[in-house]
Structure 1
């Protein structure tokens, strides 16, 4: 049933929001969290709280904003056209980076599926091959690849939900307790060390507001669905990763490149584990197929309205931005080469930290803009104050997540931001001229003078 022809009630919208949030980002997390220990439960709770604050604030932005462009439109209220550009630019960059992380995840599960080990260089090469193949598969358009991704995502959702429900029959409190803090870290460093990896699972929560037009009562239903979907996803994340930590000994789990395949092998049989591993490899590839086109489309849409360089709006007769896809592919290949690490999990961590940092830039800008958005929308002082307090909590969490991402990710993220300001210099003139033509600035002044 098409949402454009039939409105969704709040329950349907909540389920859709949760399903959209649960994707390939979760399937390597049990192994990464095992490196920290089950003390990462506190990281989940902190991130769930921060994500709820972000989700509510984004729901308010989506309800009150009258500007198109998602987070770019929100940021424009406070930061003008430059803010719109920077929000879209950093969000687009974060998606490019995230695709590399998805490809690495697929390679990790593929290693287990085919019972092989790869050198760091081989891991990088297979990651690059997967990025190239999924990009090329979209040259004819995303009609088929998009449908593939919509089906294969259940190869992730099914096993994750199954572990959260059925895994308790194999759960050992002793195994979970023994995994509490294997590196004997102090409390705050232990919690902080897994903040970025837990936030990685929630990235994309802002997109839940995109279904507002399909809601029966957007003013009421969207905030409920966004919060309900985020809570639902948080419960599934927390339960599934901690159940696995109570089934698989910590040392073994931390070394696994396919933790969900491993737990199903332990719970049932190696054959079931192989089936789950296969499903997750297919799910990652299906997700990557869709995202490779989507990311190029994000850059094309911004180029169409003048925010990105014209090269990104070049498209075939069918509307496929092949040139833009190739440019982004080159960036992904460079990133894969830059982050080669002795272990696949280390490379995955570097990519995730970088993706989180760049994604948090538009988050922080949107939170700041919410103050102005509410004033323009004439929201009464009382409700506006409540929303602003929640937005500031979300901002505080965002800064904590930035800090916890580490020096290297912050440095690379900072370089991306500075590069963005440089790129804006190539397109900013057209916005100035548009303001001149509209009479916003001195009508007697033009760029030709």
Structure 2
């Protein structure tokens, strides 16, 4: 098989950037918007929901160390992301980086994997948003029937209507344009950061050090099992890179957005988990979906509990916005390269956005959140993200060797040590995930192979590049 027909053929960096010239997405984002996009995606379900579950069932007060381990892992990966995103400012995130560094098949695998990650995350988070909004409405005396707030098979459920409605609104916002979506996201992020800081200020005075004893009730292993579960809390900084093509000065702003959002969120996570387990014994958070609000209730700060619930609704809304945005841009990139039907790569002349990709993502996530009990599938977002991180770490090393001539506006330090450490940490966290998660992931990849060899390989834009080279 000739190299130009190989399933591992790589896309040239120049060709990847060239396809965005004149017909790419609108460039409207700066460093501040990117940082807020990252914080918007990272701070949400993780801090408002998963902290309690991970503390009660996996790590106890040692959850603080779980967050530190996750933060360190993400820091190594973020340095790799920053180098690649500044060097390849094209929509698609790890998919794009894999195409240039590792080849078409690896790019397809990671793109297919990213679609699963984002779509399942959006559907699962929308169900969480629905739960919080129903609780808030109920406290205000407005009761919605169970039939309209639960999926079939759950407590008399027919359809989870609130989750469908919020995703409909998110879809309309993304169709209208990334600039408008980013402005709304900025407001939502400011609100939820204010709520998180309020919890830190108010909760710090109610910490009882005795609640931190024993600090590691599940042993040292609990730190890493907890880290594998709460890694969901770090989804988002990679979503910053899906916006690469819409950044005004990507070489400068992308590294700032990636590293700043990760740094802010890691500090907040460590502090919040410490205060949370100091306020209330970790065992009390078992099966509690609103640990932050619950902790404030337990120390008699009911007004704070209500405020946190409002913050959770805004926080989860911004997660939905950024995650759905990420899904549409990955789908757009796969379609533009011919690996999926080209119709999803069409950019609307009025809005400058991939409307058909956005509508498809919106429809699928609405159906999933409205009619399916997501359950353990939410864990799929963790393995999807970790797999993408592995590809990014490897791509940095490969491209340093294959394309040393390319200008790198941001350099990942200590290559190959930093990428290799990031790769090892990510592989270890994948190992710590439940077997069910790994099994479903393998099934999804097998479906992806069928689509690639049945459609994508035949319709790949690389085929046409290869033909033109042969004629020349």
The bucket for the TM-score relative to the shorter chain is: 0.7 to 0.9
Q: How far does residue 83 in structure 1 lie from its aligned partner after superposition?
A: 2.5
User: Conserved in 2, the CA contact under 8 Å of 1:106 and 1:281?
Assistant: yes
Number of residues of Structure 1 aligned to a counterpart in Structure 2: 420
Q: Equivalent of 1:25, from 37, 40, 46? A: 46
User: Conserved in 2, the CA contact under 8 Å of 1:90 and 1:358?
Assistant: yes
Matched residues in 2 for 1:216 and 1:398: separation? 26
- The residue number in structure 2 matching 1:132 is 164
Within the alignment, does 1:235 sit opposite 2:267 as a pair? yes
Matched residues in 2 for 1:17 and 1:137: separation? 21
User: Conserved in 1, the CA contact under 8 Å of 2:207 and 2:279?
Assistant: yes
CA displacement 1:150-174 (0-9 Å, x = unmatched): 4233443222222234422111101
Q: Equivalent of 2:296, from 238, 248, 264? A: 264
Change (3 A) 1:123 1:234: farther
Within the alignment, does 1:430 sit opposite 2:459 as a pair? yes
Q: Equivalent of 1:167, from 190, 199, 203? A: 203
Q: How does 1:6-405 map to 2 (within 5 A)?
A: 18=39, 21-35=42-56, 36=58, 37-65=60-88, 69-110=92-133, 112-113=135-136, 114=138, 121-122=153-154, 125=157, 128-138=160-170, 140=172, 142=174, 143=176, 147-178=183-214, 180-181=216-217, 185-188=218-221, 190-209=222-241, 210=243, 214=248, 218=252, 223=255, 226-266=258-298, 269-285=301-317, 287-288=319-320, 291-292=323-324, 295-310=327-342, 312=344, 320-321=355-356, 324-325=360-361, 328-329=364-365, 332-333=368-369, 336-337=372-373, 339=374, 347=375, 350-375=376-401, 376-378=403-405, 386-405=414-433
Q: How far does residue 28 in structure 1 lie from its aligned partner after superposition?
A: 0.4
User: Conserved in 1, the CA contact under 8 Å of 2:115 and 2:331?
Assistant: yes
Change (3 A) 1:13 1:385: closer
CA displacement 1:37-74 (0-9 Å, x = unmatched): 11223322221111110011111112334765332221
SS in structure 2 at match of 1:256: coil
Matched residues in 1 for 2:184 and 2:37: separation? 18
User: Conserved in 2, the CA contact under 8 Å of 1:293 and 1:325?
Assistant: no
Q: How far does residue 228 in structure 1 lie from its aligned partner after superposition?
A: 4.6
Deviates more, 1:28-37 or 1:232-241: 28-37
Matched residues in 1 for 2:318 and 2:40: separation? 15
Within the alignment, does 1:420 sit opposite 2:423 as a pair? no
SS in structure 1 at match of 2:415: helix
Change (3 A) 1:400 1:130: farther
Q: TM-score, normalised by structure 2?
A: 0.76
Change (3 A) 1:332 1:6: closer
Matched residues in 1 for 2:95 and 2:28: separation? 28
Change (3 A) 1:312 1:8: closer
Q: How far does residue 408 in structure 1 lie from its aligned partner after superposition?
A: 0.5
Deviates more, 1:383-392 or 1:86-95: 383-392
Change (3 A) 1:60 1:141: closer
SS in structure 1 at match of 2:279: coil
Q: How far does residue 434 in structure 1 lie from its aligned partner after superposition?
A: 1.3
User: Conserved in 1, the CA contact under 8 Å of 2:160 and 2:371?
Assistant: no
User: Conserved in 1, the CA contact under 8 Å of 2:163 and 2:366?
Assistant: no
Deviates more, 1:14-23 or 1:254-263: 14-23
User: Conserved in 1, the CA contact under 8 Å of 2:123 and 2:365?
Assistant: no
User: Conserved in 2, the CA contact under 8 Å of 1:135 and 1:293?
Assistant: no
Change (3 A) 1:404 1:108: farther
Change (3 A) 1:54 1:385: closer
User: Conserved in 2, the CA contact under 8 Å of 1:75 and 1:362?
Assistant: no
CA displacement 1:355-394 (0-9 Å, x = unmatched): 11112222212211212221303389xx888222111111
User: Conserved in 2, the CA contact under 8 Å of 1:138 and 1:293?
Assistant: no
- The residue number in structure 1 matching 2:3 is none
RMSD: 3.8
Q: How far does residue 263 in structure 1 lie from its aligned partner after superposition?
A: 2.8
Matched residues in 2 for 1:194 and 1:39: separation? 9
SS in structure 2 at match of 1:171: coil
Deviates more, 1:141-150 or 1:270-279: 141-150
Q: How far does residue 186 in structure 1 lie from its aligned partner after superposition?
A: 3.9
Q: How far does residue 334 in structure 1 lie from its aligned partner after superposition?
A: 9.1
SS in structure 1 at match of 2:414: helix
SS in structure 1 at match of 2:427: helix
Matched residues in 2 for 1:386 and 1:58: separation? 14
Matched residues in 1 for 2:208 and 2:193: separation? 24
User: Conserved in 2, the CA contact under 8 Å of 1:315 and 1:323?
Assistant: no
